[in-house]
Structure 1
Amino acid sequence: MRIALVSLAAVAAAAAATPALANEARVEARGGVVWDGSDSDAVAGVAAGYDYDLGDKFFVGVQGSADKVLASNTRVSWGVGGRAGVKVQPGTKVYGVASWQSKYCRYCNSAVGVGAGVQQDLGSRYFVKGEYQHLLVGDSTPDADMGLIGVGMKF
């Protein structure tokens, strides 16, 4: 039984590692501002994702994030989403993004974010990016907007 479990774990690890050779994993630190009609606050966080190439020009990706509004009585908001875009020139990606974000505070609502961004490579391993998302909150809560700037590393 132990040999079967070890063998299964080895096959799963090899299968999970194989796609990383052809496409691109990334991690980033990011910060920015979130605002609604009456208020604005700074936000800081991290994100990790994986982009899959669809030929030479197009790509799709998945991403997970953890962001914190830097104001009192807030907590980390966990997010999951995806992006799809085009490589407009070597080292530059322009993309649309959609994500779900958990609540920023105890009595807040979760949100769905839609937006766009641009990512620019700095050499072969590092990148900077700028991103905008409109957060659709619902439940009579005003929608919000978020602008982020990130720096990261590709694997």
Structure 2
Amino acid sequence: MRIAIVSLAAAAAAVLATPALANETRVETRGGVIWNNGDTEAIAGIAAGYDYDLGDKFFAGVQGSADKVLTSNTRVTWGVGGRVGAKVLPTTKAYALASWQSKSCRYCNSAVGVGGGLQQDLGSRYFVKAEYQHLLVGDNTPDADLGLVGLGVKF
């Protein structure tokens, strides 16, 4: 049930992102760690998204991603989601996010991620970001947590 509620929240965030006030396209490479029940593994991936201005202070965006837990017997996890947030400084964005992610292994379950992050511009085209997600797995599988840092470019 909680996965359905979070999925609806992600869909609502994507619907709010209307193209009338387009802001920027972004592409990033990212890495970090994923952990649950005392087990920690490295993860690496890429993401691309589009943010829409919602006035001077707020924004909403959509994003797609491909991430891989850096161990054997895992698959690339494909993700789609959205984020909403505020421009807390002219070069800093704080946001909440929700996403759906495909299975990371043959017998694993897909997951819904909820979390937040900070994105800091480095000049007019580049940015760095730090992000946390709690992955709601379901089907009596333990939830997981994900910490990511990214480096990207805006268009």
Quickly say closer, same or farther: Cα 1:41–1:20, change in 2 above 3 A.
Answer: farther
Show structure 1 runs of 4+ deviating over 3 A: 19-22
Which whole-Å deviations, capped at 9, do the CAs of 1:107-136 have from their partners, x for residues lacking one? 100000000000000000000000000000
Please name the residue that 2:11 is paired with. none
1:4-23 to structure 2, matched below 5 A, reads 22-23=22-23
* TM-score scaled by length of structure 1: 0.86
Please name the residue that 2:103 is paired with. 103
Secondary structure at 1:23 match in 2: strand
Quickly say closer, same or farther: Cα 1:20–1:48, change in 2 above 3 A.
Answer: farther
2:21–2:54: 8 Å Cα contact kept in structure 1? Answer: no
Secondary structure at 2:103 match in 1: coil
Which whole-Å deviations, capped at 9, do the CAs of 1:57-100 have from their partners, x for residues lacking one? 00000000000000110010000000000000111000000000
CA RMSD of aligned residues (A): 1.3
Secondary structure at 2:42 match in 1: strand
Q: How much identity, in percent, do the aligned residues show?
A: 79
**What one-letter code is carried by the residue in structure 1 that aligns with 2:69?**
V
* TM-score scaled by length of structure 2: 0.86
Quickly say closer, same or farther: Cα 1:85–1:114, change in 2 above 3 A.
Answer: same
1:128 corresponds to 2:128: yes
| Gaps in structure 2 of 5+ consecutive residues | 1-18
Secondary structure at 1:105 match in 2: coil
Higher RCO structure (Cα 8 Å, ≥6 apart): 2
| Gaps in structure 1 of 5+ consecutive residues | 1-18
Q: How many residues align?
A: 137
When Rg is computed on C-alpha atoms for both structures, the one with the higher figure is 1
